A and B are shown apart, each in its own frame.
Chain A
């Protein structure tokens, strides 16, 4: 299995192809629904974001509390589609990409392509495995949001699938379109 380490340069991101299975290590930041809303409010007010967006990777996740002796509790990905409206602006501001689960919108695919970003799919429901792969964790913003706060994670060997690559190829391209009558 291919091992990759963050930070990834634009060229390194460009060498990843949709469908590839990888083990990823390095620094990532958790953020989900509420944290994104707050980050957008900071951006609108021209204030500093909780972490530099340039080349960063956001993990759509909200961990369980860490048991004694562990850096993180159970921490698998949440459904990325809920962040469809947020991802393009962050990618345009330099975000390297995202880690989550499930398909994302055509607008997100276009933003990934435009900026050379990459979207990784983590395996939904594998929370204990991902939680154990977090070696260090620190809350960097919005602690009042509890599990929805922004955490900086140092992770080791996160099993991921390249879901949408920098060329806009998507592993979800063959999902059946829903019947409009349904």
Chain B
């Protein structure tokens, strides 16, 4: 059994959050460079501005986007680790609190009804998975709400099948139009339950944009959905163009014989995620 003080988790969360706030993921940046080359007019102008912004953010260490998001933290905890020094959720919140204060990040978390801001961007949205071994892996994703607001869960019937899944993905992006800051990345959870599919969809957003699902039938949905989305012509910022999405990332899990849940989690072009291990 390995003992680990939760202060180490707090420090890791702090470092990941600071870096994520000011950095667009490398794979996303490359996809944006390719998109800028392909587009013309206002869409090209928008993508050029986005690329220029990424450089300014790195140089000034100012957040790439002022929406520094709700902090989603996916933590894999080895079952041979004994945590000491306090509660895990408190440690994660402490890391977020410190990062958002020191980094001059916006505090965007508030009561849903009174709208009173918690003032420190906590609580973080923590998901813990118990895994084999004595390690800890932390993956962190500050999720902006312009795109989160445009996400959807569709409880399809088994009869709707593959075509239903494709329609759910494409319609969600179509309905979102210019609002989620296209070109978007689309995380899709297929199967599981009402809540399970949403978690799959969010987890999918951590995948490399150059990757494809190892299951061939799932990879073909990713490919076809992307082609149909890019045929919509929404383009960067809704200004019209060929690139409305950079990538569709699908994850699957077994579901009930009566259902086909599909969650579509939209991510703006500001893909920010970091990971580290202890």
List residues of chain A with CB under 8 Å of any chain B CB: 19, 21, 34, 61-67, 70, 73-76, 78-79, 81, 101-103, 121, 123-129, 131-132, 145-147, 159, 161, 171-172, 174-176, 178-179, 181-182
User: What is the bound-complex CA distance between A79 and B182, given in angstroms?
Assistant: 12
CB distance from A110 to the nearest CB of B (A): 19
Chain B residues whose CB sits within 8 angstroms of the CB of A123 once the complex forms: 45-46, 49-50, 53, 237
**Do most interface residues of chain A lie in helix, strand or loop, or is the interface mixed?**
loop
Pick from A62, A74, A121, A182: contact of B63, CB below 8 A. Answer: A74
Alpha-carbon gap, A121 to B240, bound state (A): 13
CB-CB under 8 A from A179, the residues of chain B are 167, 171, 174
Chosen A-B contacts, 19 in total, with CB atoms closer than 8 Å, are A70-B62, A74-B68, A76-B65, A76-B66, A79-B146, A101-B237, A123-B50, A125-B65, A125-B181, A127-B57, A127-B65, A131-B62, A147-B66, A161-B42, A171-B238, A171-B239, A176-B232, A181-B171, A182-B168
Residues of chain B within 8 A (CB-CB) of A127 are: 53, 57, 62-67
Whether A159 contacts B45 by the Cβ 8 Å rule is yes
- Assess the A64–B63 pair: CB atoms within 8 A: yes
Q: Does B211 contact A (CB under 8 A)?
A: no
**Cβ–Cβ contact B174 & A159, under 8 A:** no
Q: How far is the CA of A147 from the CA of B232 in the complex (A)?
A: 35
For the A-B complex with A62-B106, A127-B66 known, give 20 more contacts whose Cβ atoms are closer than 8 Å. A64-B62, A67-B61, A73-B63, A73-B106, A74-B64, A79-B146, A79-B149, A103-B177, A121-B239, A124-B181, A125-B268, A126-B52, A128-B64, A129-B56, A131-B66, A146-B107, A147-B107, A174-B233, A175-B178, A179-B171
A128 touches B63 (CB 8 A): yes
Contact check, A124 vs B52: say whether CB atoms are below 8 A apart. Answer: no
B177 touches A102 (CB 8 A): yes
B270 touches A74 (CB 8 A): no
**Residue in B62, B174, B179, B240 whose beta carbon sits within 8 Å of that of A79 in the complex:** B179
Q: Is the CB of B146 within 8 A of A78?
A: yes
Among B41, B53, B179, the most chain A Cβ lie within 10 Å of the Cβ of B53
How far apart are A65's CB and chain B's nearest CB, in angstroms? 5
- Closest-CB distance, B94 to chain A (whole angstroms): 19
Contact pick for B49, options A70, A103, A129, CB 8 Å: A129
What is the minimal beta-carbon distance from B105 to any residue of chain A, in angstroms?
A: 6
Chain A residues within 8 Å of B63, by CB: 64, 73-74, 127-128
Among B22, B108, B177, find the residue whose CB has the most chain A CB atoms closer than 10 A.
B177
Q: Are B181 and A178 in contact (CB under 8 A)?
A: no
Q: Are A171 and B64 in contact (CB-based, < 8 A)?
A: no
If A65-B106, A79-B146, A103-B238 touch, whether A125 touches B64 (CB-CB below 8 Å) is yes
Question: Do A174 and B240 form a contact, CB below 8 Å, given A67-B62, A124-B268, A132-B56?
Answer: yes
Residues from chain A with a CB closer than 8 A to the CB of B107 are: 146-147
Q: What's the Cα separation between A64 and B60 when bound, in Å?
A: 14
CB-based contact A178/B238 at 8 Å = no
Take A62-B106, A81-B179 as given contacts and tell me if A74 and B171 are in contact as well, using a CB distance cutoff of 8 Å: no
Q: Is B79 an interface residue (CB 8 A)?
A: no
Report, nearest first, the 7 A-B pairs whose CB atoms are least far apart: A182-B171, A126-B53, A124-B181, A128-B57, A74-B63, A127-B66, A102-B178
Q: Are B42 and A171 in contact (CB under 8 A)?
A: yes
Bound: A182/B238 CA distance, A: 20
Task: Tell me the complex Cα distance, A161–B107, Å.
Answer: 28
Contact between B66 and A146, CB atoms less than 8 A apart: no
B residues 222-272 near A (Cβ < 8 Å) are: 232-234, 237-240, 268-270
- Give the residue name and chain of the A residue nearest to B240 (CB): A174
140-175 of chain B: CB within 8 A of chain A: 146, 149, 167-168, 171-172, 174-175
B112 to chain A, nearest CB (A): 13
Most buried by A among B41, B42, B64: B42
Residues on the B chain within 8 Å of A145, using CB: 117
Q: Is B104 an interface residue (CB 8 A)?
A: yes
